[in-house]
Amino acid sequence: MRSLRASIAVLIFLALSAGLVLAGEPTTEKSSAAGPQEVAVFSVPKLAKGSVLKDLAKALADKPGVVLAQMDPEKKTFNVTFDKQQTNPEEILKSVNSVSKNAKLVGVAAADGKSGPGCGGCPSAKKCAGAKK
């Protein structure tokens, strides 16, 4: 399991170094979790800096329940999809803060795009509020 996490961290770094990360494309993805998933959206200063992304990848590689991490360069946010039975946004924020002390949790949304209990602060709330559920 540890070698899988190390491999994922290396792949993330290579993808980010090569400039292959586009809005909405994953930077890391682990095997799909069995539990319900949510997306935590973080504001991370200096997110576009390669070393920050590399350090975020390392910090999240060993985090249980983290399924997907991706940078949204358009919104300048870092989005982490997680299994809410294994972790929560506050625990993920601790890992993110170990890399960037000024990072903040912006919001939480259901991973399927539907409104979830934490959607109030989600930056996509306006977009999905009008969608049929």
Q: Is the pLDDT of residue 110 over 80?
A: yes
Owner of token pair 């973080």: 42
Confidence of residue 20 (pLDDT cuts 50, 70, 90): very low
Write down the mean pLDDT value for the chain: 73
pTM > 0.85: yes or no: no
Confidence of residue 23 (pLDDT cuts 50, 70, 90): very low
- State the CB neighbour count (10 A cutoff) for residue 99: 20
Nearest-5° angle of CA 115, CA 121, CA 127? 55
pLDDT score at 47: 86
- The answer to whether residues 64 and 120 touch, using CB atoms and an 8 Å cutoff, is no
Average the pLDDT over 2-21 and give the result. Answer: 47
What tens digit of pLDDT does each residue of 50-101 get? 889 889 989 999 899 999 999 988 888 999 999 999 999 999 999 999 999 9
Q: Is the pLDDT of residue 8 over 90?
A: no
CATH class of 2-121: alpha beta
Average the pLDDT over 95-112 and give the result. Answer: 93
Helix (H), strand (E) at residue 58: helix 50-61
- The answer to whether residues 8 and 2 touch, using CB atoms and an 8 Å cutoff, is no
Q: What crossing angle do the helices spanning 2-17 and 50-61 adopt, rounded to 10°?
A: 160
